Amino acid sequence: MENFYISLNAVLPMFIMLFIGFAIRKLNILKESFLPQLNKLVFTVFFPFLMFNNIFGSDFGSVFNPKLLIFAVVAVAVVYMLSVGFTLIAEKSNYSRGAMIQAIYRSNFVLMGMPIVENIFGEGKLGMTAVLVTVIVPMYNILAVITLEVFRGNKINILKIFKGIATNPLIIGSVAGVLAVALNIKLPQAINSVVSDIAGAATPIALMVLGASVTFKSIKKCRRNLVICIFARLVAVPAICLTTASLLGFRGVDFVSLIGLFCSPCAVSSFTMSQQMGSDYELSGATVVFTSITACFTMFLWIFLFKQLNFF
**The total number of structural domains that make up the chain:** 1
Q: Look at residue 200 in the predicted model and tell me its pLDDT.
A: 85
Instruction: Answer yes or no: are the C-beta atoms of 80 and 101 closer than 8 Å.
Output: yes
Whole-number pLDDT of residue 81: 97
Host domain of residue 287 = 2-308
Instruction: Assign 69 to helix, strand or coil.
Output: helix
pLDDT for 58: 64
- Annotate 127-140 with b (16+ C-beta within 10 A) or e (fewer): bbbbbbbbbbbbbb
Instruction: Report helix, strand or coil for 208.
Output: helix
Q: What is the pLDDT of residue 61?
A: 62
230 near 287, Cβ under 8 Å?
A: yes
Rg from Cα positions in the chain: 19
Closest CA to 108 of 222, 207, 227: 207
Among candidates 166, 164, 171, which has minimal Cα distance to 144? Answer: 164
Length of the chain: 312
Separation CA 52–CA 201 (nearest Å): 14
The torsion angle over the Cα atoms of residues 63, 299, 121 and 306, rounded to 10 degrees, is: -80
d(CA 65, CA 70): 9
Query: For position 185, what pLDDT does the model report?
Result: 85
CATH code at 18? Answer: 1.20.1530.20
Q: What are phi and psi of 167, to 5 degrees?
A: -100, 5
How many other β-carbons are positioned within 10 Å of the β-carbon of residue 59?
Answer: 11
The predicted pLDDT at position 278 comes to: 79
d(CA 118, CA 1) in angstroms, rounded, equals 21
Cα-based distances in Å from 218 to 157, 285, 299? 32, 9, 26
Helices 158-166 and 127-152 cross at an angle (nearest 10°) of 150
- Exposed, middle or buried, 305 (CB in 10 Å: 0-12/13-18/19+)? middle
Residues 6+ apart with CB under 8 A from 238: 259, 262, 263, 298, 302
Q: For residue 220, what are the contacts with CB-CB under 8 A and spacing of at least 6?
A: none
The parts of the chain modelled with pLDDT lower than 70 are 1-3, 6, 57-63, 123-124, 153-154, 156, 217-218
| Confidence (pTM) | 0.80
